[in-house]
Amino acid sequence: MTLNIVILAAGRGSRMKSETPKVLHTIANKPLLGHVLDTAAALESGNTIVVYGHGGEHVRQTFAESALTWVEQVEQKGTGHAVLQTISALDDDATVLVLYGDVPLLRPATLEPLVEKAAQGPALLTAVLTDPQGYGRVIRDDKGLFARVVEQKDAGADELRVQEVNTGVMAMPALMLKKYLPRVTNNNAQGEYYLPDVLSMAVTDGFDVQVVTVDDAIETEGVNTRAQLVQLERAYQLRQVQTLMAQGLGVADPARVDIRGTLTAGKDCFVDVNAVFEGEVVLGDGVIIEPNCVIRNSTIGSGTRICAMSHLEQAIVGASANIGPFARLRPGTELADKTKIGNFVETKKAVLGEGSKVNHLSYIGDAVLGAGVNVGAGTITCNYDGANKFQTTMGDNVFIGSNSTLVAPVTIETDGFVGAGSVVTKTVGQGELAIGRGKQRNISGWKRPEKNK
């Protein structure tokens, strides 16, 4: 069976109060349309057609690298009119599935039964809502079979009491869609061309419309307002965390973890509150993430603890390391096993060997440190001369005293020792002590300045 997926993404989204096209607003740092395209890919669509309109060029640029067929809907005249624009792009032997660019939470597993049923005839995805206000109602005949969809503004009092609603998601053979769609009229309260009218036509011709009812109605919710965007963000995040919990991840509060990408966790990991994971993050076994940490595109080795308020980006951290609190690891940081980055330490393009420590209040940038190095508080590597970056190199077992300034390019060889408060501008040889500080003078009889009277 060939599957064609039509994604309607032409809406302006005026209630979002934004210049950004609605389908480019994000959930988990991914555009709404991106989530729908992921679903289409999981269903192995042979041809994915996106109907665009408002902000269309911006939408197309955002997904320029995706293999998509783009169809413009110049005037927005309803869902039937939107799908009508795609008729010439549909394969005659295909089953056509219609999705929406602002409905991001539909799972492939929910849509697969719908697609299967639609191979021989029309099929509709419905939901049962406690409060169906605003939705088209699904009307069934006396045998319980689908009869038609009645939009809210066209419904009578009895029809408005129906709680089964049309989600807008439907599927049917392409030739059937091509037959009925041009016959849809706009004779209704909205003056629009409604896509569900093709189902009524199929019923009139003797076809049974197969109905699949979604288990969790949140999957079919769309985004029209900022409030709805937030609601679906939370639903999406909870879904991800619950999946990871089922795989063994421990969390303090599932409602206070955000995964904006992919998180892979080993056994016995624990994530405390307000953790944010972005991009591709991998945690080894037994990793502990304390509160209020942000970890982006990083790998954390087994047994490592990331203490509170730490920020890691494009970092590789070995096993049994300790980071933070209040540490910042910038891109290019690579820490070996049993390393320590303490509070208010920033690293950038820094490679630390096993057991090395930078405990507090230091900046280590463009540096390579051997094993067993100890960097004292307030130390900085002066890696930038205003035009170019230079590297600082330290051998194994180097000791850097507090408040030292290492002016790159500079090397401190194995077992080198730098006295506290030194400015180091040239190589410190193996086992040497470097002291580069101004000479102290004590002045007797000195009087403290006084304010003028």
For residue 452, what are its two tokens?
Answer: 């003028």
Q: How far apart (Å, rounded) are the C-alpha atoms in residues 185 and 312?
A: 56
Report the sign of the C-alpha dihedral through residues 164, 168, 174, 178, in that order: positive
Tell me if 68 sits within 8 A of 48, measured CB to CB.
yes
For residue 360, what are its two tokens?
Answer: 């507090």
Residue holding tokens 């690298």?
Answer: 65
Catalytic residue among 25, 81, 311, 360: 360
For residue 352, what are its two tokens?
Answer: 């630390």
Q: What angle do CA 113, 119, 94 make, to 5 degrees?
A: 120
The DSSP H or E segment spanning 117 is: helix 108-117
Q: How many CB atoms lie within 10 A of CB 318?
A: 21
Tell me if 281 sits within 8 A of 295, measured CB to CB.
yes
154 burial type by CB count under 10 A (0-12 exposed, 13-18 middle, 19+ buried) = middle
CA 36 to the chain's CA centroid:
14
CA distances to 25, 291, 320 from 285, rounded to whole Å, are 35, 19, 10
Which residue, among 332, 316, 306, has the nearest Cα to 282 in the 3D structure?
A: 316
For residue 181, what are its two tokens?
Answer: 């769609």
| 311 has catalytic annotation | no
Q: How far apart (Å, rounded) are the C-alpha atoms in residues 311 and 297?
A: 11
Residues annotated catalytic, as ranges:
360
